[in-house]
Structure 1
């Protein structure tokens, strides 16, 4: 998957774009870790029941030059993409996803636009 400037997950209400004011130190403050090649990565488990260990993996990778990013939600193995927005069965997971993304929008990592 290539780095993109804007990403809209299937059936998601919003399109997310890299904020022009993004800063590397903000990513470090937000617990993004630096990979061996210098990209910034954040992985979070979206769980219906906190600390259950059962849920879907949200992974965000931001290019080391802060020019693009990858965003996907997978099963825990990280191999299969999952669409948590397709039905209201995953309403709690959707709310947790939007809460996390809103905090990144607030800190000027992303901007969001309603589709």
Structure 2
């Protein structure tokens, strides 16, 4: 999967775009870690019952020059993509997903076009 300017998670109605105002320090403040290739990776639990052994995770990878990103929802072991909107605990997962992304929008890492 290559870096793109916009991503829509399967099941979601909102498309997220990389913000032109994105800053490296905002990424680090939000919990992104810099990879060996210089990209920035965020892995967050969507499971509020057990955040240390989650059933679902959100993964966001921003490229080193801050012009593109990848975003996906994964199983807890990160081996497969999952649709959090069709899970048994979808209400909980979706609420946590939107909470995390609201912080990304607030810090101008991502944006939406309404």
- TM > 0.5: yes
* Count of residues paired in the alignment: 114
Q: Which residue number corresponds to residue 60 of structure 1?
A: 60
Higher strand share: 1
Question: Which runs of no fewer than 5 residues in structure 2 stay unpaired?
Answer: none
Is 2:30 the partner of 1:30?
Answer: yes
Q: Which residue number corresponds to residue 13 of structure 1?
A: 13
Q: Give the ranges of 4+ consecutive aligned residues of structure 1 lying more than 6 Å apart after TM superposition.
A: none
TM-score (norm 1): 0.90
Q: CA RMSD in A?
A: 1.6
Q: Which residue number corresponds to residue 72 of structure 1?
A: 72
Distance 1:70 1:51, change over 3 A: closer
Distance (Å, rounded) in 2 between the aligned partners of 1:33 and 1:89:
28
Distance (Å, rounded) in 1 between the aligned partners of 2:106 and 2:62:
17
TM-score (norm 2): 0.91
SS at match of 1:14: coil
